[in-house]
Structures are given as C-alpha cells and as structure tokens.
Amino acid sequence: VPEFSETIVLPLPAEAIEGSEEIQVSVSGDILGPLIPNIDALIEEPMGCGEQNLARLYPNVLVLEYLESFNIDDPALERTAVRNIELGADTISYVRREFCHIQARPLLRSLLPKLQPRRGTVFQ
C-alpha cells in the first residue's frame, strides 16, 4: 500500500494551548483498511445464548467476505472463521432446532458458499 505524507501549516488562534498544535489525519480508501493488521481479533468462537452466538458469529462471516472481496489469501484465518461459523450454526441448531432449520440454515448457506457440508452439522 503506497503511503503519502504532507505537512500543512494552518494559523492557530492566540488562545491555543502550547503543545497542542499538532494533529495527524489518516485517510484510507477502504473503511476496513485499519483493521487489516488485527483482522484476526474479529474472529471469535460463537457461544452463549442465541443473540450472543449470532453477535459472535457475524464477524466471522464479514471476515470471510472481506478476504474474498479483496482476494486476500489467508488459509489459516479462513479455516478458523469457517470452523467458528459451523460451531455457531451447530449451537443454534442445538438450542433451537426449529429456528435453525427454518431460518438460519438457508441464511448461512446463502452467505457462505465456501462451507462444505460435514456429516453431523446443520449444513447437510
């Protein structure tokens, strides 16, 4: 990623506090750009009640979509995200089987074409 730096001198008001006259601005063409160095921090294993499970599951979906959209090759991160999504879907299935089969199962299938059905998961 190319870096660009420029210094701009602006007039300061007389009442400016000494030592506060410097500011740094960062601009990125990609809203998730600053997250990339720590993108693995978004990956969490889903657990808890249904709402907590889904709140932890969704960032895994976003990370997979981001990796795919920008052609980023990170097999370890992708495997972890897919594993977490499968665990989350299995938990939803265990807690509320009818919800998972009516709503979550088709939703997860449509969002994640990369997931391979495994024996014993809700993706069969």
User: What is the domain partition of the chain in residue ranges?
Assistant: 33-111
Q: What angle do CA 77, 49, 79 make, to 5 degrees?
A: 15
Higher pLDDT, 30 or 81: 81
**pTM for this prediction:** 0.54
Asked if pLDDT for residue 80 goes beyond 90, the answer is yes
Higher pLDDT, 1 or 24: 24
Neighbour count for residue 85 (Cβ, 10 Å): 23
Model confidence at 10, pLDDT cuts 50, 70, 90, reads: confident
Distance between CA atoms of residues 115 and 74, nearest Å: 16
Asked if pLDDT for residue 31 goes beyond 50, the answer is yes
Which residue's entry shows tokens 């602006």?
A: 10
Q: What is the pLDDT of residues 42-52, one digit of tens each?
A: 888 888 777 78
pLDDT score of 98: 47
